[in-house]
A and B are shown apart, each in its own frame.
Chain A
């Protein structure tokens, strides 16, 4: 059942991305509405998939690689929709749907086997810690997308070469606001995720901090974002520099998510 829903949402995400892409190139407004509707439908299917998966496995489905990446994609969608509900950022959906689709493809390619949870992980800390971290990652992903869009648009205006992006991307101000919004939600959530993880570690393994690679890289990520947020809110950094920091930070997030799991060994490795 969850598998069917997963496949369904994957296909519908694909359609949404295609619709958005065609809209991005042709700039025909009805297509944007179509894209948005399809994206929402995919998101609902995806939500159904996560619930079904939770019922099938009997725990929050954020343990295997497949589940984690799928949940990550879902949280990106969630953050986007929450943002969309408050502000409109022109054509953000195009980029978001592409990222969500990419994550979903990664999830589809990894093993969907359900693995029973080892006793150490059987705790209510699991949903709290993992979902908080992944929601933080969702907002940070949006900040990164905003950063990329900002750099594209800023380059266009600075270099005075008006190509594909000038009319299609939103104003620099709107992108900077997006960054501000995402950092000011994503960073506290990320901090909260680190704290809950550390408390859980104390409970499960007896120490707050193990210096295992995932923890170390999370800390590095945290420092990157702390720098961005600090510069933004005290020195008044904005625009290009914060955009670049947001992109670096998100690369650190991705490395924490994947690089660490596959390249380095540690207690956080997925149950496999």
Chain B
């Protein structure tokens, strides 16, 4: 008698390139995939999370391999090959799965560590799962726990408060230039991972619009959809400069795509409203001389690195603290799960003892149904009391921590001693 296994399957920005992630992302919302998962009878409870950076499915089942195969077939196999599946999809089981979920919720697994958006997305995903009735006893507990872990990490560490990455440094600089970022417009030129990361962070800061320019327009459109932005072609770049405030460039172009002389007239048109250029391309996209213009600020990847270095030691300390919190909570949850495992044994044991006492009482006193009400109630009370007394020593043995014998072993001992797995000997019903 073993409990269900918790399994987490998924892809994220660390394992999987954007091109593959794009294909896997669930464009049509949660309802259809959740309903489809409901058709797989191997799954007991399940929930599904899909964001720009990750697609993850978490479920409990008894036959891990079969369930996993069917889930992968359903969610991913239509879009990518089996070989790609093997390479990109990660699989966590039980406490690993719990740890991973906690880390995701606490934003330790995010592109931008410490960003707060992921918790909202997680809650949204959970809301859909509960609406479909697909999450049960274990997942409810697990997800609620992950929310509280995220909250603990946020309040007890300052992981969200420091510049934790290049993109964060860029955002911080933007805030020093523009003050409030609400209402500002961001343009992404070229769609690399870094650019995406910075854009995501800026969106988190409430920028008004994201414009994506790319050599291939299709790619620009795909990315723009991620941020509810719009796509333009690369030829429109100069015209767009009059409208946007922050430009993040990361094209693979071998030469500069924007020169000082291109920007100078734009500033007149902008009536000198500041422009912030972030060049994260290697080799560089933007003419370094642009920085000499008044009200124009240009940072390349090395400049940003220097900003990050200033905050690095602080960040590491906070991340360690956050991971410690996650480990602590995972340990607590595992204990809860383990105790769950002893519950059926306890129920069976009590039932068995009670049944035997009841049988003996009936042998002497006659059948319970035929007694008068007052007498029957007295005897029922007595049966319950004796059951409690007799069951106490084994239950005590099960529930109390014993450092020498693990819970699984103790459960096994009790089951053997009381013949709980012997069906023909008055065992379970």
Residues of A within 8 A of B (CB): 153, 157-158, 160, 162, 166, 170-174, 177, 235-241
Contact = CB atoms under 8 A, between A and B. Distances in A.
19 contacts: A153-B176, A157-B173, A157-B297, A160-B299, A160-B306, A162-B306, A162-B307, A162-B310, A171-B177, A172-B176, A172-B177, A172-B178, A172-B274, A173-B177, A174-B179, A237-B272, A238-B271, A238-B272, A239-B274
A72 to B, nearest CB: 30
A171 B295 contact: no
Contacts of B272: 236-239
B294 interface: yes
Contacts of A236: 271-272
A173 B179 contact: yes
Interface string B157-196: 0000000000000000101111110000000000000000
B291 interface: yes
Contacts of A160: 299, 303, 306
Contacts of A240: 294-295
Given A157-B177, A160-B303, A173 B274 contact: yes
Contacts of A237: 272
Nearest to A170: B179
B245 to A, nearest CB: 10
Complex A-B, nearest 10 residue pairs according to Cβ-Cβ distance, in ascending order: A236-B271, A173-B179, A171-B179, A174-B179, A238-B272, A239-B295, A236-B272, A171-B176, A160-B303, A173-B178
A236 B297 CA distance: 18
Given A238-B295, A241-B294, 10 more contacts: A157-B173, A158-B291, A162-B306, A162-B310, A166-B176, A173-B274, A174-B179, A235-B271, A236-B272, A239-B272
A239 B294 contact: yes
A134 B94 CA distance: 74
Interface residues of B, number: 20
Contacts of A153: 176
Interface string B290-324: 01001101010001001100100000000000000
B181 to A, nearest CB: 10
Nearest to A238: B272
Nearest to B292: A158
Nearest to B306: A160
A236 B303 CA distance: 29
Contacts of A162: 306-307, 310
Contacts, number: 47
Nearest to A177: B179
Interface of B: 173, 175-180, 271-274, 291, 294-295, 297, 299, 303, 306-307, 310
A105 B103 CA distance: 58
Nearest to A157: B297
A171 B303 CA distance: 19
Contacts of A174: 179
A241 B294 CA distance: 9
A177 B179 CA distance: 10
A174 B176 CA distance: 9
Nearest to A231: B272
Nearest to A174: B179
Nearest to A242: B272
A239 B366 CA distance: 99
A251 to B, nearest CB: 22
A171 B175 CA distance: 7
Nearest to B267: A236
Nearest to B296: A158
A235 B177 CA distance: 21
A150 B303 CA distance: 21
Contact of B297 (A158, A170, A241): A158
Nearest to B178: A173
A166 B173 CA distance: 9
A166 B169 CA distance: 12
Contacts of B178: 171-173
Contacts of A177: 179
Nearest to B291: A158
A236 B273 CA distance: 8
Contacts of A238: 271-273, 295
A160 B304 CA distance: 9
A170 B178 CA distance: 10
Contacts of A241: 294
A156 to B, nearest CB: 8
A235 B180 CA distance: 24
A153 B297 CA distance: 12
A166 B311 CA distance: 13
A186 B364 CA distance: 106
Contacts of A173: 177-180, 274
- Among B177, B178, B307, B310, the most chain A Cβ lie within 10 Å of the Cβ of B177
Contacts of B294: 239-241
A166 B303 CA distance: 15
A202 B297 CA distance: 52
A147 B255 CA distance: 38
A225 to B, nearest CB: 19
A129 B175 CA distance: 42
A240 B274 CA distance: 11
B331 to A, nearest CB: 36
Contacts of A235: 271
A44 B173 CA distance: 38
A238 B306 CA distance: 28
A236 to B, nearest CB: 3
A171 B295 CA distance: 13
Contacts of A239: 272, 274, 294-295
Nearest to B176: A171
A153 B179 CA distance: 13
